Chains A and B, each alone.
Chain A
Amino acid sequence: MADLNTNFLGIKSPNPFWLASAPPTDRETNVERAFKAGWGGVVWKTLGEDPHVVNVSGPRYGAIHGADRRLLGFNNIELISDRPLEINLREIKAMKRKWPDRAMVVSLMVPCEEKNWQAILPQVEATECDGIELNFGCPHGMSERGMGSAVGQVPEYIEMVARWCKSHSRLPVIVKLTPNITDIRHPARAAKQGGADAVSLINTISSIMGVDLDRMAPIPTIDGKGSHGGYCGPAVKPIALNMVAEIARDPATHGLPISAIGGVTTWRDAAEFIALGAGSVQVCTAAMTYGFKIIEELCSGLSQWMDAHDYSRLDDFRGKAIGNVVDWKYLNLNYVVKASIDQELCISCGRCHQACEDTSHQAITKLVNGVRKFTVKEEECVGCNLCAEVCPIENCITMIPQTHGTDPRTGLAYGRDYSNWTSHPHNPSSR
């Protein structure tokens, strides 16, 4: 069995799966249940200063459902912890004592003044927790008060607060980044500049889940009004993967430890983040949708996959995909694929034809000799993958790399040497 033990900034956990700072880690009862279920660690629900915040008593959550009401995207307008600081600190200490082998990270959000941070840090340290996470991410509510993403959107603030925390605490400092920004590399660089030990990302994305057409108000609706909230869940994973990759391959932050967050629902999602360099993986929505028990599938799936690929430790594949994330201009323009439809698997729904016919390159037949049949016209196919993505059957349409012969579409030979845009004759700057 593969070894899932994780050491992130010296914070050890029996597996890389931590619960993200959110309702699952809001209180002792939840955390105890989570640890019992097998979670490797938690980032406690964000603590603020007393008097504690208050939440709305109307709906806090909204969701996007796929077919069969599968939850695909999730949104919330919840604030940080709405319980007294002292209670949280006491519970954190009790939980860490009781579960010493699990990671216990405490998320913090206080006003952007050195004295405020200076005041809370010793109290947090006294819980014997393993590290702190600075919540510069929440895009709703707290940001109106100059905290959360209001800090995370200004790299100078990030650097400043990270520096305060490093100088007033001996604990490892993780800066949690907001995705509500144009270029994620800037806040990451600022965190590193400020001395942070790691970054975690993503926090939630500003969003409105829908409009209630009867009340003419955003969803979720509180007494006829709504506010933008934070979007998360399976739908945000691609955004998170990209941001993690950007930081991992940026020379200025390459090697900076990353705790990856965003849409992790299955072991595969986690493996993908780890392949992009993540040192640990945080989960919120999947736990809120399916309960803590999914940790079993996450661990079993990850270790089965590692066994099957002869990876005995997470480090054996960590970061292995980073080098393959490149700028567009370095993609091989001489690499040619053509769609191929497995006629045995094809159920003749015709979605591939319709998609290609209407919106792509008219490269898929509908009739062959007068009979309903979907085949690829190689002389038209540009290898775009649209047909494969709209096909309802796994592996029915595959993109086959062409290595021998001539492309009937372009008349150029297959299998020519690697060549990219930088040297392409159409590139104005390559002349």
Chain B
Amino acid sequence: MQPPRVPDSIRSNRLSAETYAENFSDLHPLLSEHQAFVEADRCYYCADAPCQTACPTSIDIPAFIREISTENPLGAAKTIFDSNILGGTCARVCPVETLCEQACVREFAEGKPVKIGQLQRYATDAAMAAHYQPFQRAAATGKKIAIVGAGPAGLACAHGLAQQGHDIDLFEARDKLGGLTEYGIAAYKVTNDFAQREVEFILSIGGISVKTNQVLGEDIFIDRLLNDYAAVFVAVGLGGVNQLGIQGSDGAVRGIEDAVNFIAKLRQSKNLSTLPIGKNIVVIGGGMTAVDIAVQSKRLGAETVTILYRRSQDEMKASGYEQQLAQTNGVVLRCNTAPVSLQSHQGWVTAIDCVETAEKNGKLVETDHRFSLECDMVFPAIGQVFVPAAVEASGARKLEQIVDSSGRIKVDSDYRTALPKLWAGGDCVSRGVDLTVAAVEAGKIAARSIHSSLSQGK
């Protein structure tokens, strides 16, 4: 069978070079010094600050904001890095509107929280610009630890352990470190190769030896790692995606591409004008990834972008702010709408058939109202899943012991798995939410737990 011809409507070079540059520049540009002072002055320096409680890594937010307002941005950065070594990424990618800024008492008082995320960026950018390294390694312990996966969780864990004087071998399947910060986060949130600059900053503490293109389950194996190292931390994230499972989505119709895949291509593209995008895009899903792919498609020059979400708008996982971002970018949100099947011409998608849904007795049901949307690209963004194969193929005999019913690795509050010497954290575990900041916290806590367990000689 002939492979289907890519329709003409899928084109690169839709925009001028300046428009591409503008569309993918910083979503929130760095605050100027004046803006930072004005904003920092708004902080009340609350007692047991609610913002700090709301931060998964418990950054001492009032303290760092006070340091900014007393013209001590490096001290502010140190305060941030003390709790969150990826404070630079988190400042850019955290859904602050559901975390610290939602809790800010100024939100309560006037509906206008202190811009904590942007102040955090102000401080951490100052530190990176000054090549400020606030941490020194403790005396070498001679202990070697393997970390698999160099996303936020792996990097945070590596830094925490390196700081304690341990030696780390950091294994990564891809050729660049950073995990989804490098391959997944929306381009306009982390501009200017930020992920790689942050990786450099983290590694500059020393003691972390990086081994790229090392795939767990292919090149390295859990059993052997557990044998060779004092401890192992697995932070491989989510390798798979949920399948759309509608008629035609099994590969019979082309033009369907998983959102995470497409974003990775976008993130790695050196020149966005060479990245083809369709004219009419349909995105399926209601989370952060759905919004990200929708907005980025629009900014690549797609003419219409529609998000289909089968439940009501209130139930979308994307925050109110993100929904707004989609809408101000001209993305159409169609909630209570489920995809049913794909139409195609010469093997390429031309439209998606949908049905409207409604809530009945707490259950989502299909209504009689059906319609079709013209499209030449469909991006399912309906969730990622953990692929146990990596741990399985490596012969971790007792897979059922370490993976729980949610299909992810089971850990305790210290991120220990059921196997001795094996810790895991980040998206690949069933504990916590799938956010960068939660992955950092996991890596940080795991590092503490590994360190204290090694110090006790256990």
A residues adjacent to B (C-beta < 8 A): 68, 70, 266-268, 290-291, 293-294, 296-297, 300-301, 304-305, 308, 345, 393-394
Contacts and interface: CB of A to CB of B under 8 A. Distances in A.
Interface stretch (B1-9, B63-71, B284-292): B63-71
A267 B70 contact: yes
A394 B72 contact: no
Q: Ordered nearest first, which 4 A-B pairs have the shortest CB separation?
A: A300-B75, A266-B70, A301-B72, A304-B75
B74 A290 contact: no
Interface string B193-222: 000000000000000000000000000000
A293 B33 contact: no
B70 A297 contact: yes
B322 interface: no
A296 B63 contact: yes
B246 interface: no
B76 to A, nearest CB: 9
B115 to A, nearest CB: 15
A393 B34 contact: yes
B72 A305 contact: yes
Interface in B151-167: none
Interface residues of B, number: 19
A205 B257 CA distance: 73
Interface string B277-302: 00000000000000000000000000
From B33, B34, B42, B70, residue with most partner A Cβ within 10 Å: B70
Interface in B22-79: 33-34, 37, 41-42, 45, 47, 60, 62-63, 66-67, 70-72, 74-75, 78-79
Contacts of B41: 68, 70
Contact of A297 (B47, B67, B74): B67
A300 B78 contact: yes
Given A68-B41, A68-B42, A291-B47, A297 B34 contact: no
B443 to A, nearest CB: 25
B71 A268 contact: yes
Nearest to B33: A394
Nearest to B78: A300
Contacts, number: 44
11 contacts: A68-B42, A267-B72, A291-B45, A293-B63, A294-B66, A296-B63, A297-B66, A297-B70, A300-B75, A301-B72, A394-B37
A364 to B, nearest CB: 20
Contacts of B72: 267, 297, 300-301, 304-305
Contacts of A70: 41
Nearest to B79: A300
B37 A290 contact: no
B440 to A, nearest CB: 22
B65 to A, nearest CB: 10
Contact of A301 (B33, B42, B60, B75): B75
Interface in B131-153: none
A297 B69 CA distance: 10
B278 to A, nearest CB: 42
A300 B34 contact: no
Given A291-B45, A300-B72, 14 more contacts: A267-B72, A291-B47, A294-B66, A296-B60, A296-B63, A297-B63, A297-B66, A300-B75, A300-B78, A301-B70, A301-B71, A301-B75, A304-B72, A394-B34
Contacts of A304: 72, 74-75
A290 B45 contact: yes
Contacts of B71: 268, 301
Contacts of A308: 74
A301 B47 CA distance: 20
A268 B42 contact: no
A300 B41 CA distance: 19
Nearest to B49: A293
B51 to A, nearest CB: 14
B78 to A, nearest CB: 7
Nearest to A298: B70
Nearest to B73: A304
A33 to B, nearest CB: 12
Contacts of B60: 296
A267 B66 CA distance: 11
Nearest to B66: A297
B42 A300 contact: no
A345 B37 CA distance: 14
B122 to A, nearest CB: 14
Contacts of B75: 297, 300-301, 304
B416 to A, nearest CB: 31
Contacts of B47: 291
B67 A300 contact: yes
Nearest to A291: B47
A327 to B, nearest CB: 31
From B34, B67, B72, B74, residue with most partner A Cβ within 10 Å: B72
A266 B66 CA distance: 9
A294 B62 CA distance: 10
From A68, A291, A301, residue with most partner B Cβ within 10 Å: A301
Contacts of A296: 60, 63, 79
A394 B66 CA distance: 17
A305 B73 CA distance: 11
Given A394-B33, A394-B34, A394-B37, A301 B45 contact: no
Nearest to B32: A345
Nearest to A299: B75
Interface string B290-316: 000000000000000000000000000
Contacts of B66: 294, 297
B143 to A, nearest CB: 27
Contacts of A293: 62-63
Contacts of B42: 68
Contacts of A268: 70-71
A126 B295 CA distance: 73
Interface string B69-91: 01110110011000000000000
Nearest to A268: B70
A267 B72 CA distance: 9
Nearest to A290: B45
B270 to A, nearest CB: 33
A297 B37 CA distance: 16
Contacts of A297: 63, 66-67, 70, 72, 75
